[in-house]
Amino acid sequence: MKKVLLCGVDVGSKELAVAIDADSGRVWEGVFANNPAGHRKLIRRLTRSKTTARVCVEATGIYHLDLSLALEQTKGIEVMVANPRVTKDFARAQLRRSKTDRTDALSLLEFVRRMDFDLWVPPSSSILALRALSRRIQALLVTRAQEKNRLHAGESVEATPLAIRESIERHIDAINAEIEALSTSALEEVHTNTVLDRRFTHLVSVKGVAQATAITLLAELSVLPADMTARQWVAHSGLDPKHNESGISVKGRVRISKVGNRHLRAALFLPAMVASQHEPRVRAYYEKLLAKGKKPMQALVAVMRKLLHAIHGMFQYDADFDGTKFFAERT
């Protein structure tokens, strides 16, 4: 009787490709929805054999966390969240030439067969609470912007009843009160956690990163695996370049992939704009890119990427922002 059931899960935004080491050396393959209902179905499949299941999940953007938490909280299931850089190197060593969800799941199954199993430690309750609070604040900010647009449109049309304009204004006031209350709760979570508190202080040392932005950045970055590199942070945020080439005749403009955490990407935009104007070393870097022929938006995206690298270093070395390390102008 098999004592441990091994499983590899390739996580996508909508689906989970699963490979399970079944009896007699066979591999069972299946696909589940990447939502709570799909997670419950996968858990039932993993626990029906009444043996301990060891599941290897690759850290992929924002999509693996909810699944990993659901698995980790289930009795009889152990979870390893693998660094994508390590699993990519492992697949390359296995001489895998094709890359599909199915082959990735099989590769992760082989990874958990051969490599030491590092039990995943989920983020602390304060980090998870901070992330939930931050996401709710972001949703309310979107709703507030929509209501402000409606109010502006209503004020521009004389036929709009006064009752409607007053209704929208009351809703905006209520949203503002909710945002303020949730922001207070988020700051309480930050200040009760020593690591979060210090990192929050480091973040607000960057010109352009105020309290609200620091909460969002801290919430999104704190749930990531501790061994992720700065380049992996960039890929996670969707700020990595996406090349558009085909043969020798097609060579389109390089754009960012936008495949990743939109919350993190959005939170970096305003700080990059402000720092490009008011932080001397950041401004020097921005202007150097413009002098090289980069368009303003291209240069701004480059500043966003470099800021993310800087934040990675600030967290790693427990230090405030240092403009001289961001960009050292050569003489």
Asked whether the predicted pLDDT for residue 54 surpasses 70, the reply is: yes
DSSP string, 52-86: EEEEEEE--TTTSHHHHHHHHTSTTEEEEEE-HHH
Residue 21, helix vs strand vs coil:
strand
| Residue written as token pair 């209503």 | 154
Domain stop point among 192, 207, 224: 192
Shared domain for 158 and 186, answered yes or no, is yes
Query: In total, how many domains does the chain have?
Result: 3
Q: What's the pLDDT at 330?
A: 64
The most distant pair of C-alpha atoms in the chain lies apart, rounded to whole Å, by: 78
Lowest mean per-residue pLDDT among 111-120, 133-142, 253-262: 253-262
Asked whether the predicted pLDDT for residue 246 surpasses 50, the reply is: no
Please tell me the distance from the alpha carbon of residue 227 to that of residue 316, in angstroms, as a whole number: 10
Percent of the chain with pLDDT over 90: 66
Tell how strand 27-33 and strand 15-21 pair up: antiparallel
DSSP string, 208-267: T--HHHHHHHHHHHHTS-TT--HHHHHHHHT-SEE--EETTTEE---EE---S-HHHHHH
Asked whether the predicted pLDDT for residue 186 surpasses 50, the reply is: yes
The domain in which residue 265 lies consists of 196-331
Beta-ladder partners of 31: 17
- The pair of structure tokens assigned to 116 is 């030491």
Domain stop point among 136, 171, 192: 192
At residue 317's C-alpha, the angle toward residues 189 and 265, to 5°, is 60
Shared domain for 178 and 244, answered yes or no, is no
Shared domain for 203 and 290, answered yes or no, is yes
Which pLDDT tens digit goes with each residue over 62-73? 678 889 999 999
Sequence-ordered list of residues with C-beta below 8 angstroms from that of 134, at least 6 positions apart, any chain: 186, 215, 216, 218, 219, 220, 263
Shared domain for 23 and 74, answered yes or no, is yes
Shared domain for 232 and 313, answered yes or no, is yes
Confidence category of residue 315, pLDDT binned at 50, 70, 90: very high
Asked whether the predicted pLDDT for residue 189 surpasses 80, the reply is: yes
Give pairs for 22-27: CB < 8 Å, separation 24+.
27/106, 27/109
Please tell me the distance from the alpha carbon of residue 264 to that of residue 240, in angstroms, as a whole number: 13
Q: What's the pLDDT at 244?
A: 46
Please tell me the distance from the alpha carbon of residue 40 to that of residue 44, in angstroms, as a whole number: 6
Shared domain for 13 and 54, answered yes or no, is yes
CA neighbor of 101 nearest in space, from 217, 221, 166, 15: 15
Residue 279, helix vs strand vs coil:
coil
Shared domain for 169 and 217, answered yes or no, is no
The most confident of the ranges 56-65, 113-122, 294-303 is: 294-303
Which pLDDT tens digit goes with each residue over 254-272? 566 666 688 899 999 999 9
